[in-house]
């Protein structure tokens, strides 16, 4: 089972809000997540990024790979990978 740290879309039409989640790579984009790690709101100025560093470390230890977008957000948030 390949684990990923990725984004799931929330919010209304033209008002996106994303959660950073850990889930199996075969699960659909908005499917059930195993764990909620943080959130990303691109609609605010500046964009709001909130991440639980302990959960990120735990999931990376378990073998989860962040997607390119999530990896960039984690770097912006100052979380070591």
Q: Does the pLDDT at position 80 exceed 80?
A: no
Q: pLDDT of 9-54, one tens digit each?
A: 999 999 999 999 999 988 888 888 999 999 999 999 999 999 999 9
Please say whether the beta carbons of 8 and 29 come within 8 A.
Answer: yes
Domain 3-77 superfamily per CATH:
Ribosomal protein S16 (3.30.1320.10)
Q: Which residues does residue 23 pair with via DSSP β-bridges, in sequence order?
A: 4
- What does the pLDDT read at residue 9? 93
Give the predicted TM-score (pTM) of the model: 0.88
The domain ranges of the chain are 3-77
- What does the pLDDT read at residue 56? 95
Q: Does the pLDDT at position 4 exceed 70?
A: yes
Q: Does the pLDDT at position 81 exceed 70?
A: no
């Amino acid at each position: 089972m390949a684990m990923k740290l990725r984004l799931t879309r929330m919010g209304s039409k033209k008002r996106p809000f994303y959660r950073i989640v850990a889930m199996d790579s075969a699960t659909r984009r908005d499917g059930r997540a195993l764990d909620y790690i943080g959130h990303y709101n691109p609609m605010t100025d500046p964009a709001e990024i909130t991440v639980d560093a302990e959960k990120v470390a735990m999931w990376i230890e378990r073998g989860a790979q962040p997607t390119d977008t999530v990896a960039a957000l984690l770097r912006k948030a100052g979380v070591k990978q």
